[in-house]
Structure 1
Amino acid sequence: MNAEQLQKTLRASQYAEQVLNLHQAVLEQDYAVDQFSSSFSTEKIQHLVQDALVSIHDEMTWMHTIRVLRARLMFRWIWQDANQMTEVVTLTRELSDFADASIIAAKAFARAPLVAKHGEPIGYSGKVQDLIVIAMGKLGAQELNLSSDIDLIFAFDEQGECNGRKSIDVQQFCILWGQKLIYLLDHITADGFVFRVDMRLRPWGDGSALAISHVALEKYLSQHGREWERYAWIKARIVSGGKEGDDLLEMTRPFVFRKYVDYTAFEAMREMKAMIEREVTRRNIEDDIKLGAGGIREVEFIVQVFQLIYGGSKLELQDRQCLVSLQHLGQVGLLEQNAVSDLEDAYLFLRRVEHAIQALNDQQTQSLPTEPDLRHRMSETLGFESWEAFIACLNQKRSKVIYQFEHLIKEKGLDATVENFGQLEKQLDVVLDEKTKNLIHEFWFGHAIKKLPAKAVQRLKEFWPHLIEVVLQSDKPQIALLRLMPLIESVMRRTVYLVMLIESKGALQRLVKMATVSPWICEELTHYPVLLDEFLSMDFELPKRQDLEDSLRQQLLRIEIDQVEDQMRVLRLFKKSNVLTVAASDVLAESPLMKVSDALTDIAEVSVSATLNLAYQTVAKKHGYPLDVEGNRCSLSHLAFVVVGYGKVGGIELGYGSDLDLVFIHYMDEQADTDGHKVISGFEFAMRVAQKFMSLMTTQTLDGRVYEIDTRLRPSGEAGLLVTSLKAFEQYQIKRAWVWEHQALVRARSIAGEQTLRDKFEQLRCRILTLPRDEQTVRAEVLKMRQKMKDHLGSSKEQKKDGIFHLKQDAGGIVDIEFMAQYAVLAWSGTNKDLAHYSDNVRILEDAAKAGYLSSNDVSALIQAYLSERAESHRLALANHSMQVSAADWRDTREVVCKLWQRLIDPAAVFALESE
């Protein structure tokens, strides 16, 4: 060995002296093959660990071997650091690689005895479960120190049971697995330890289960995750766990990195900093170069606060490593380049000091030594002539960190008030009536405010002038304020929303504009404040079908099949948040009507399809699978069940608040038994699937319902069975159905279920609709049904005299147009099957023009009238208004509809408008 380098190493570390005394021969051999001067790749370190432990089956030998390897590598790292033969980033990466390799080796060694005793851990899906090891802190960021603890969290994908004779559940298996992993690395033997393992960052900390399922972790983070945990999870990294581990980590990203610009991170950082300062004072550790003023933690805080604020929108800021993210902050312009340079320089210096401290005695500490000899040895290792010279340099580096940190955490806008607030109050006083002024007074001096924590009251007072400023800029300030007051009251305890609206004026302006247009949207946000997260972060583009499917599938994938409440919550919030997105796009981006209806229909179809799969799985788990009519097993990939949408969902014309007209059809052998432990017939299986579907969709919870569902269009209506076989449906439609039921079938469309059965239904629908019919009979039946609807649902004579027009039900309204489209299919598709292809009114009318049954001019005018009336119905729904409008405003549109109605169906209708 090089004598001078050896001397520097031993001066730098008393621990290195101990290692040399114990392993001199091995260390000389390492030095001879030049393992002290070169850097090690990740693969090299992995091979070192694997080669050392290969073929070792005895626990004591395994533990001895890996501890000796750790001592050799530690001596090498201290040698390199003391002789300035490595960079801080290289050293911390190699240390982290060794920790990863040790964890993977310990995990593999710990598994075999557990499997021998309990069998393989099998999840409910049938997959063998793995122990997912999540590295947190410095190991997660691959920035490990010479003597760092390693912070870990253990997880697994899904619950289940082991398949051995002494079976235990998957969670207990993973707990035992994790306990053994910790013991193999953490237990102190005559050879020392490999790594101290700290598990306190797991959900609920000490005292909680050592391993947690994906579902439980997701639930914890969404419902109980605290701000400091967001900071911690920035550095989270999967050490071992395969695709399931990657999926789990991806699940945590929205918790850490919010979609919107999250200014609340400033306050969370200030609170954590204050907590650390109290701890530093309490423990008298001002000389701690990690926790003290201007220390490593402050550099990390500066970087992390920007990551939490902007990481959701600037993906480059999601990197785990402090220095990498620091460079990105400079590149995106969030930090001045000189600040980046000062912080990087200070951080690297502080980390090198940290290594010098820990090298002395292989202790996890960041406090500067107090003994003169240790101070002299450390300053010498770091290249300073004296301790005083070192301290002067250290203080200079720390002062630059302190400056940047103090500059960053100054209150940024949260205590600022809008200029000239007094003038704004005077302007508000002018535009408000006395009733509204009284409501505002009652709000500020009522019980709700008195019960608020002082901090929440302060935030509300800071928010109020910003709200008033934007409200006064709107065209309907009084309406906006009245509609927003209940929303403000519902969220004022969750001050994060108020902070976001203060800091994001654009979001506040959008909220005020939405309030002026749509009380319905305000009511949704008030009843379900969780939707405000989506509203404040949405980009106002209509959701795409594939994105909807992917989003809901991912949300439901990790919910176990018996967790019904969680399933219901996901389904409800998925529907509500996406409908809100459509409404915002409709109002703020002025999206076209047809695209809005397409998007609303897509949301419904995706919800129906996911709910059907959940219902089917639930029944199959309990009773096994049935057989179809051809004797095939109806597994999850062959449901033999279809949901048919009628009315607006069938016609791809859903509006806001529309219910769903649904019919359930199956293709199962009703007499054959299922293949599970609790056997039921195929008929009963189909019924239970339909009942479970209805329960998941329509049960009233705190999150409302997914949709109101109407099943009265099924064969025989309310007197009929909830679910019908395809054969029975066919016989009913051909032999017993009324003409109005065939009218309804025009707007029917399969929207969920097994594709082969969906195709069979579509073929059957086409066959029924194209049956030969007498045109006069169809005309008479259509007219009779239309008159019934007018009598029961249309405007009264008194309302008509008062100039009221029911946009949907009165003459010249939406239903007239729908009935003409249905008449066209029933009367003419017997000779032209193409007319029965589509279920939406616009394309039916267009096909009628192509086939020559209607003129292009008539169809064009009719479609324009239809779209105008539907657009108005959407606007009225958003405004929480009825479908009754001024007849005078719609006279020209109605005349177009009534003239064609008269020519096509009812000659007497020409006088309908004149008679009003």
Structure 2
Amino acid sequence: MQQPDLSLVPSSLHTLLNKQWERLADVLAENAGLLVGSITKDLLQVVVGSDFVVDQLVKYPQMLSELIEDGVLGRAYQSDEYVKRLAVTIAKIDSEAAMMSLLRRFRQKEMVRLIWRDLTRKAAMVDTTRELSWLADAMIDGTLRLLYEQGCERWGTPYGISAESSQKEQQRMVVLGMGKLGANELNLSSDIDLMFCFPMNGETQGARKTLANQDFFIRLGQKLIQALDTLNAEGFVFRVDMRLRPFGSASPLACSFAAMEHYYQDQGRDWERYAMIKARVVAGDVDKGTELLAQLRPFVYRKYIDFSAFESLREMKEMINREVRRKGLEYNVKLGSGGIREVEFIAQAFQLIRGGRDSRLQQRELRNILPLLPELVGMPEQAVEELMDAYTFLRNAEHAIQAVADKQTQELPRDDLGQARLAFSMGFDEWSSFETALTEHRAAVSRHFAEVIAPAQEQGETASQQKTEWLALWSEQLCEEEAIQVITDSGFDEPSRALKLLMDLKASRTVQMLQQTGADRLKIVLPTLLDMIAQADNATVTLARVLQLIQSVLRRSAYLVLLAENPAAMQQLVKLCSSSAWFADQLAKKPVLLDELIDPRTLYSPPDKEQLGAELRQQLLRIPEEDTEQLMEALRYFKSAHLLRVAASDITGVLPLMKVSDYLTWLAEVILESVLDVAWRVMVEKHGRPMKQTGVPCELDFIVVGYGKLGGIELSYGSDLDLVFIHDSDSNLSTDGDKSIANSVFFTRLGQRIIHILNTFTAGGQLYEVDMRLRPSGNSGLLVSSLKAFEEYQQKEAWTWEHQALVRARVVAGSSRLGGEFEQVRASILQQARETAELKTAVVEMREKMRAHLGTSAKEAQAKSVFNLKQDLGGIVDIEFLVQYQVLANAPRYPELYEFTDNIRILDAVEKTKLLPTEDAEALREAYKAYRAAGHRLTLQEQSNVISEGDMKDSRALIARIWGSVMES
């Protein structure tokens, strides 16, 4: 007999190796010709690491030669290879006894191959877990198919009546794999967590005695468990655990889809959300099972940010910790501190919290989730690398432990021999080296787990006397005088009003009707929140604004958990609400935006237009194209989130005025581009493409032209969008779809759909209010006109004020080719020669009409001493009209006047061409920026554009003087 090379293993393992080699003497002799080169070295590695493999090779001497000659020890399987191999075995089954034997032999041979490849590192950890999951899938599904056929012959075929078609439909079982099987992460000796269900109730047909469908599938499930789980002389296939099904062990073994939906909707618990993350159809009717999981997805992934997941996971972890302490499982690489379960908890915490909002997190595999966390939640890249390395190390250790005897255990060995074997299997010369590496990995996991899952209190918040006093006040344990004293001592500027605000909230019906969980969460948040508010200069005003938000989120107290879990976000909330009533109102209306406060890096670092567009495209790509409602909600959230970010940057001075307007304008543009894409796709799917000429379809020959603030790159918070739609196709032709319509009708409906997406109020609010009155002929004109018709109207019919509006017109979405042609038309209109006196008269008359209708009346100005920033003499519109007049009067001589559409750069051109003195142009620029900055501040305080008559007096006088010298001379 060939002797083992003892130099390849530590001396502590020589006795074991010799013993194993002796047991394999006959097998080695029979396969002497095959045991050459690396095969012998690999065999040595495997027999040291696995008694199970030695047992199987001794029991089935031909197994080793079959594996070597097949060449499967050195290569990975494809996803369907187990199915094909198992089909050969199943074809031989002609009795229950044969089934029990052949399935087990198939499994043992494949397990020997998998353990061999794992211990010799021919397969990486992820390859081993994936192939193990494929093996389980194939064996569950293959066995189920065989048993289903036998069951139909014996008990009849189950049928149900379809609610859609009222037709009979044959029913098949759906087997859901949970846990590691569901995630394609099965370990070497794992049990499999399963659920059995079926689409609908009914009865079997074709047998002497009918059975209810549920009874049929319960019996079928029992047969499947027996086939897989029964331990006999040849072992088992897989240990089966059914405890994760609704109501656990006390419930029927199989239930209908309706019962599943009802259970999870009404009684599903937090730990079941955690479990359902990994649910996957592993056998049976895959299509129906996929439909079921889609129906259950809202239970798992909440639409809102759900920080209550942290609470649930802490409770689960504490329960596990108690079990660890009670059973002495500190040496368990899965459940012990810094073990596999903690890595899983970190990933799944963020899946539960954010998965409803970001479908990228709706994946089962942990190795796919962790790399997403730096981008999605700001986890440091190094932390993710450490977690991935630790997870791989721990799973390899788990496999090495289980490979020894094919037992479901994660316990580190305590005996010297066991420790030496594990260290060797893991690539270490001695136990101490392995233990050092293990300790380092577990310490890293524990540290990151504490940072993510640990209660906020453990991250720096300490109990204080102030907290006790706030809770006593809230619980009405203090008399009014004592309560006011607590509020005064904390620093509130209006103690009596602050107390009333708190007591009004306490007495509100919402608080009185709170369930215990919500009331407890409110008590956790309030003391810290009140301490932070007390530090604000306008503490009582800030309290009123923040309590408005608290009132709005009480029925969804998960938002309170978000604040409790993120003290930094709470600090941002107080800071920004203190500075802006608008900000507080936005959060109260859309509490989901609280999530934006968590990461200051994104809150105060607005992206540029290219980044905005890329972010929006990524978000929309994750939504099915046909789901217009979800697309509309995604657009609304995207707008609201970025509106909040720019406001935060504006309030804190991170962004200057011009950048604020740039950001708000870019935001509108990328949204308009996406809305146009969605609307175009829907129309083309329904009616086909409009024809440019016979046989030549249009390629989105459509543009959206922005006027006013959008065109002038000067959008503010809450600005509406002045839009004009233009197409370039032959109105006499039609679309090429089955439901063909005239091109003119197609583009009109396209415009209507765009407006519908923008204007409609949904749960997420309204995207933008759209004003189409600047289109040719205003409200009486066509919603969409051709470029030719637009040009003719501007040349022959447009009023002077419409040419003024064209100064600020700019293509913001659509065809770049058509956009270029529009710019040529715009230039030709603005370059028209005009009689100066007539132009001046028309501009002045329109300005006076606007002042009369929209400005402050003389009586009001005298009584209230107020000034309308926009409409009164010396206000914003005077500057705009001055600029527009200069363009229309002088564009034929100076084309640079209409190169840009924003007032600041047009004034630069006016100065450069010496149409105004430098000091006047500078005065207009500075006044314009000051007015707009004041307008932004007023909006953020939810105030109108009316200021005190004494404010900005110098700017108003300057503008009035320049207006008089230019327009009234």
TM-score over 0.5 (shorter chain):
yes
**Structure 2 CA distance, aligned partners of 1:725 and 1:330?**
51
Distance in 2 of aligned mates of 1:549 and 1:718: 32
Deviation string 1:616-650 (CA, Å, 9 cap, x unpaired) is 1112111111112686302xxx1111111110001
Establish whether residue 820 from structure 1 lines up as the match of residue 890 from structure 2.
Answer: no
Aligned with 2:406 (options 355, 358, 367): 358
CA distance in 2, matches of 1:100, 1:824: 74
Counterpart Cα distance in 1 of 2:124 and 2:677: 51
Match status 1:146 vs 2:196 = no
* 1:846 and 2:908 are equivalent in the alignment: yes
- CA deviation profile, 1:203-239 (whole Å, cap 9, x unmatched): 99997989xxxxxxxxx99xx9967756886999x9x
Which one of the candidate residues 645, 650, 656 is aligned to 2:717? 656
Give the aligned partner of residue 575 of structure 1: 639
Say which SS state the counterpart of residue 896 (structure 1) adopts.
Answer: helix
Given candidates 634, 645, 660, the residue that maps to 2:706 is 645
Matches of 2:415 and 2:179 in 1, distance apart? 31
Distance 1:411 1:558 in 2: 32
CA drift at 1:75: 2.9
The equivalent of 2:96 in structure 1 is none
Q: Displacement, 1:528? A: 1.0
2:737 to 671, 676, 679: 676
Aligned equivalent of 1:874, options 936, 943, 957: 936
How many angstroms apart in 1 are the aligned matches of 2:773 and 2:243?
Answer: 56
User: Offset at 1:300?
Assistant: 2.6
1:494 deviates by: 3.5
**1:106, CA displacement in angstroms?**
11
Query: Where does 1:217-616 land on structure 2 (aligned, <5 Å)?
Result: 266-273=310-317, 295=335, 299-305=339-345, 320=366, 352-356=400-404, 358-359=406-407, 365-366=408-409, 412-413=456-457, 416-421=462-467, 422=469, 425-428=487-490, 431-432=493-494, 434-537=496-599, 538-616=602-680
1:303 corresponds to which letter in structure 2? V
Q: 1:378 deviation in Å?
A: 11
Say which of 788, 808, 811 aligns to 1:747. 808
Q: Distance in 2 between matches of 1:832 and 1:722?
A: 33
Tell me how far 1:31 sits from its aligned partner: 6.8
Instruction: Give the letter for the 2:590 counterpart.
Output: Y
Q: 1:366 to 1:633 in 2, by over 3 A?
A: same
- Please state whether the residue corresponding to 1:888 is helix, strand or coil: coil
What corresponds to 1:24 in structure 2? 61
Q: TM-score of the superposition, structure 1-length normalised?
A: 0.72
What residue is the counterpart of 1:172 in the other structure? none
Q: CA deviation at 1:679?
A: 1.5
Q: Distance in 1 between matches of 2:901 and 2:967?
A: 20
Is 350-359 or 757-766 further displaced after alignment?
350-359
CA distance in 2, matches of 1:104, 1:762: 62
> Which of 79, 86, 95 lines up with 2:128 in the alignment?
95
* SS at 2:725 equivalent: strand
What amino acid is the match of 1:774?
E
Identify if the C-alpha distance between structure 1 residues 732 and 47 changes in structure 2 by more than 3 Å, giving closer, same or farther: closer
Letter of the 1:733 counterpart: Q
Amino acid at match of 1:270: R
- Contact persistence 1:230–1:256 (CA under 8 A): no
- Residues 333 and 410, structure 2, Cα contact 8 Å, conserved in 1: no
What corresponds to 1:125 in structure 2? none
Contact 1:817 1:866 in 2 (8 A): yes
Question: Which residue is 1:737 aligned to?
Answer: 798
Are residues 834 and 151 of structure 1, via their aligned partners in 2, closer, same or farther at CA, if it must alter by over 3 Å?
farther
Distance 1:4 1:331 in 2: 49
The CA deviation at 1:295 is 3.3
Gap change, CA 1:868 and 1:527, over 3 Å in 2: same
Separation in structure 2 between the aligned mates of residue 31 and residue 288 of structure 1, nearest angstrom: 42
CA contact (8 A) 2:117 2:123 kept: no
Partners in 2 of 1:460 and 1:496 — Cα distance?
10
Q: Would you say the 8 A contact 1:627–1:668 is kept in 2?
A: yes
Secondary structure of 2:706's counterpart equals: strand
CA spacing shift, 1:411–1:780, aligned 2, 3 Å: closer
Read off the aligned partner of 1:899 and give its amino acid letter: R
2:30 corresponding residue in structure 1: none
Which whole-Å CA distance do the structure 2 matches of 1:730 and 1:617 have between them?
28
Measure the CA separation in 1 of the matches of 2:861 and 2:183: 72
The residue that corresponds to 1:694 in the other structure is 755
Distance change in 2, residues 1:203/1:590 (3 Å): farther
Q: Which amino acid aligns with 1:640?
A: D
Q: Secondary structure at the match of 1:675?
A: coil
Change in CA separation of 1:332 and 1:98 when aligned onto 2, cut-off 3 Å: closer
Between the aligned residues of both structures, percent identity stands at 35
Helix, strand or coil for the counterpart of 2:531?
A: helix
Give the TM-score normalised by the residue count of structure 2: 0.68
* Structure 1 position 505, deviation (Å): 3.4
CA displacement, residues 379-432 of structure 1 (integer Å, 9 cap, x when unaligned): 799799xxxxx9xxx9xx99x999979996875518954443447534358622
Distance in 2 separating the partners of 1:895 and 1:99:
82
Distance 1:340 1:727 in 2: 61
Q: Which amino acid aligns with 1:894?
A: R
Runs of 5+ unmatched residues, structure 2:
5-17, 25-45, 94-98, 144-174, 196-223, 249-253, 259-263, 283-296, 355-359, 424-430, 470-484
**What is the CA deviation profile of residues 327-358 of structure 1, one whole-angstrom value per residue up to 9, with x for unaligned ones?**
x99999989x9x99999999877664444453
Q: Give me the whole-angstrom Cα distance separating, in 2, the residues matched to 1:590 and 1:480.
A: 21
1:95 is aligned with what amino acid? T
Q: Is the 8 A contact 1:663 1:714 kept in 2?
A: yes
Write the distance in 2 (CA, Å) between the matches of 1:26 and 1:58. 15
Q: Deviations over 1:507-554 (max 9, x none)?
A: 222211211221111111111111111233343112321222122222
Counterpart residue type for residue 797 of structure 1: A
Distance in 2, matches of 1:770 and 1:504, equals: 58
Over residues 646-680 of structure 1, what are the superposed CA-to-partner deviations in whole Å (9 max), with x where a residue is unaligned? Answer: 10001110000000011111112212121111121
After TM superposition, list the pairs within 5 Å mapping 1:118-137 onto structure 2: none
Matched residue SS, 1:420: helix
Displacement, 1:490? 1.4
Q: Which residue of 2 aligns with 1:74?
A: 111
Report the AA paired with residue 616 of structure 2: L
Distance 1:55 1:876, change over 3 A: same
Tell me if the contact between 1:424 and 1:469 (Cα under 8 Å) persists in the aligned partners: no
The residue type equivalent to 2:619 in the other structure is Q
Residue 891 (1) aligns with residue 939 (2): no
SS at match of 1:661: strand
The equivalent of 2:20 in structure 1 is 5
- For 2:302 and 2:420, the matched residues in 1 are separated by 41
Contact 2:787 2:822 in 1 (8 A): yes
More moved, 525-534 vs 449-458: 449-458
Alpha-carbon distance change, 291 to 358 in structure 1, aligned in 2, over 3 angstroms:
farther
Change (3 A) 1:485 1:330: closer
User: Cα–Cα, structure 1 residues 456 and 104, in superposed 2: closer, same or farther, change >3 Å?
Assistant: closer
Q: Distance in 2 between matches of 1:846 and 1:706?
A: 33
- The one-letter code matched in structure 2 to 1:678 is K
CA distance in 2, matches of 1:331, 1:874: 36
Q: Is the 8 A contact 1:231 1:304 kept in 2?
A: no
C-alpha distance in structure 1 between counterparts of 2:49 and 2:416, whole Å: 6
Q: What amino acid sits opposite 1:4 in the alignment? A: K
How many residue pairs end up in the alignment?
785
1:559 and 1:566 in contact (8 A); partners too: yes
Q: Once the two structures are superposed, what CA deviation does each residue of 1:165-200 show, in whole Å capped at 9, x if it has no partner?
A: xxxxxxxxxxxxxxxxxx9xx989999998789999
Aligned residue number for residue 766 of structure 1: 827
Q: 2:334, 2:868 → 1: CA distance?
A: 71
AA matched with 1:272 = M
